[in-house]
Amino acid sequence: MSKTTFKIEGMHCASCAVTIERALVKTPGVTAANVNYATAKASVEFDDQQATEMDLHEVVIKEGYKVRMDHGAHGEPGIEEHVHGSAASAGKKAALALILAVPVLFIVMLHLPVPTWIIGVVSTVVVFGPGKEFHQMAWMKLKRGRANMDTLISMGTVVALAFSWWQMTVDGDLYFEIAAVITGFILLGRYFEARSKGKASEAIAKLLELGAKTAHRLNQDGSWEEVQVDVLKIGDKVLVKPGEKIPLDATVLDGRSSVDESMLTGESLPISKNVGDTVFGATVNQQGVLTIAIEKLAADTVLAQIVRLVEEAQEKKAPVQKLADRISGIFVPIVILLALVTFVIWMLVTGSLTASLIPAVAVLVIACPCALGLATPTAILVGTGRGARHGILIKNGEALERGRKLDMVVFDKTGTLTEGKPSVTDYVEVGAGSPGPSQGGETTHLSLAASLESLSEHPLSKAFIRYADEQKVIRRPVTDFVVHPGLGVEGKVDGHLVSVGNMMMMQKGNVKMEIATADLARLQDNGKTAVILAIDGVAKVVFGIADTVKATAKRAVQDLQRVGLEVVMLTGDHARTARVIAAELGIEKIEAEILPDQKLAKVKQWQAQGKKVAFVGDGINDAPALSQADLGIAVGSGTDVAIEAGQIVLIGGGPEKVPEAIALSKQTYRVIQQNLFWAFIYNIVGIPLAAMGLLSPIIASAAMAFSSISVVLNALRLRK
């Protein structure tokens, strides 16, 4: 199965997108297709054994549109260039049409002594010159037995124009100015729409601008050469001076400095970097000189991942958009039918061809499925763009809809509410002496614990490793290593079975516990995690592990509770330890001593009670719960954005972004609702007024153009 994304040129309304999407879906081998009118992009999943990308392009071309390959985050030409190019082209057409049409309107209104045939010629030039795209597309659709917004415009202007030429032969009423001005107004509307859509798409362009353009590469002869970032290869050595941007994701080979990673993490304080540390493309070196080795090319950097995530979010439709698409798909045929009915009724009532034609033309030109098509995607464009600037990556429109319906927010504790950088704070020796590696006191016990924990990826493991490195403790070879998820680890060291884990693990392993209850209680009452070291089935030591609560966690909890959301903390820690942390954060409901697979069960349990649940976790260990939750919010570290883990990914920062993400979801969805309401109301009110003859075709065309612009402008309010 393959996936491709390409740009489509020539779409002028939502029904265009619906038509192309339906044609693509019907193509043999295509499993899914999504055509987004706002972004002018098609995303297609297909079986490459049955179809090729060229086959897909041919389908679009046969529908009367042009295909332009999307080169991705770092391709050419750039997004911004394309957006401005489209707006510029629309602007030229609108300017030419209005330069010719406006004088015609004034000549007619002021009854100036200009020959009628000149007015007719100028109007015809406007309709079939700048406005030729309407008629070309209408003809293409007609040949395939279809209709879109261009069909309505073409019918309205051509009918008005042809009728006026015919009326000249019988010395009747003329409506050349209607055809010309309608064309000019609609082209002007498309120009403003293109500009507005360009502003809505600025998020990606701004993200791309963050990257470095050049770099100082070390040549084989030892000299430094300034080169374009595009020519760098994996393994190239690059010199980064103070104040320069790091070109690509890399590893520090030499030097010491601090790096501003705020564009990735949202953290204002620079991060210290030493030999062996990872640095990220587009971040800024602050003080020292660094020599780095390139690890990832442009397409694979963290920045590129962020750009792709934003692009994918903007391409995907929200569920609410499906209704608008269905309506847009049948809208144009219905409008044509209404225009015919209007014409017939007026003919029956008045018997006048002129009196019947004008309201029918007005019905054709006032109808605007464009506003319906733009209502949802433009709001998503702007909302996701704003989120990206603040380190909140929204993967799809569905996340926006779900974010507004939440009842409960469930936090994983370690690394989410806490710093995720635990440290060993206590050493309590409680077991009797025994032969073998148990002898030797703290150093030996720490060596055993660190030896096993060095093979684990659990956050608590890092505490032992760091502490052991500080104490310069030697790690020993481990055999028969086993991880017990949510419990601990065990393995053989020097022929002895060594276990490191929590109380549940010791109980399941029937470990002899000679531990003073008071010592365990003391650690847990201080909010520390008790980790027990056992040798050959006998407990020897209790280590106290402390993890600092994030400074922003309490405020985040309060903000969520303030808007009526129930906040829950899930942890594998002992209940006593969990209660201390929860009390510090102001969380009343906790679920402690929870194994990883039980997190999923808990989420299902709450959902079965009718609650809409958001789960906040690290995006890796919590993946099942993140996937099951109504809204999965993955906390990224700045090095791994955990793209597949949740529907929303928080880059850097911490729990303070959770209420912000939920608030953004609600705001964006509110704008979508407003846009859809006004789009529907506009047509519900406008079409009957036009049919009753209360709107002239010129006013109708201006109103039609304004409807699309107003929807986009409303969406742009989200940028603030």
Residues annotated as catalytic are 412
Alpha helices in 283-396 (DSSP H): 302-315, 319-350, 353-366, 369-389
Tokens of 97: 């049409």
Rama region for 593: left / alpha / beta (φ>0; ψ in -120 to 50; rest): left
Residue 539 CA to residue 535 CA, distance in Å, equals: 6
Residue-wise burial string across 410-449, b where 16 or more C-beta atoms lie within 10 A, e elsewhere:
bbbbbbbbbbbebbbbbebebbeeeeebbeeeeebbbbbb
At CA 287, angle to CA 208 and CA 240, rounded to 5?
A: 50
Q: Find tokens 């050595």 and name the residue.
A: 237
Q: Is 276 exposed, middle or buried (0-12, 13-18, 19+ CB in 10 A)?
A: exposed
Alpha helices in 14-78 (DSSP H): 14-25, 53-62
Is-contact 396 387, C-beta < 8 A? no
Residue 323 CA to residue 330 CA, distance in Å, equals: 11
DSSP summary character for residue 352: -
Provide the 10 A C-beta neighbour count for residue 593: 16
Long-range contacts of the stretch 551-554 (C-beta < 8 A, 24+)? 552/653, 552/654, 552/655, 552/656, 553/417, 553/418, 553/585, 553/654, 553/655, 553/656, 554/584, 554/585, 554/586
Of 412, 506, 414, residue with least CA distance to 460: 414
Tokens of 19: 């038509």
Residue 474 CA to residue 449 CA, distance in Å, equals: 11
Residue 680 CA to residue 707 CA, distance in Å, equals: 10
Which helix (H) or strand (E) covers residue 48, if one does? none
At CA 118, angle to CA 116 and CA 120, rounded to 5?
A: 70
Which helix (H) or strand (E) covers residue 682, if one does? helix 657-691
According to the 3-state scheme, what is the secondary structure of 171-233? CCCCCHHHHHHHHHHHHHHHHHHHHHHHHHCHHHHHHHHCCCCEEEEECCCCCEEEEEHHHCC
Q: How far is CA 361 from the centre of its chain?
A: 41
Q: What is the dihedral of CA 408, 576, 412, 656, to 10 degrees?
A: 80
Inter-axis angle of helices 697-716 and 657-691, nearest 10: 170
Residue 316 CA to residue 257 CA, distance in Å, equals: 41
| C-alpha pair distances (Å), 361 with each of 50, 182, 357, 612, 678 | 45, 10, 6, 49, 23
The SS3 of residue 98 is: helix
Is-contact 314 36, C-beta < 8 A? yes
According to the 3-state scheme, what is the secondary structure of 374-399? HHHHHHHHHHHHHHHHCCEEECCHHH
Is-contact 496 436, C-beta < 8 A? yes
Is-contact 523 439, C-beta < 8 A? no
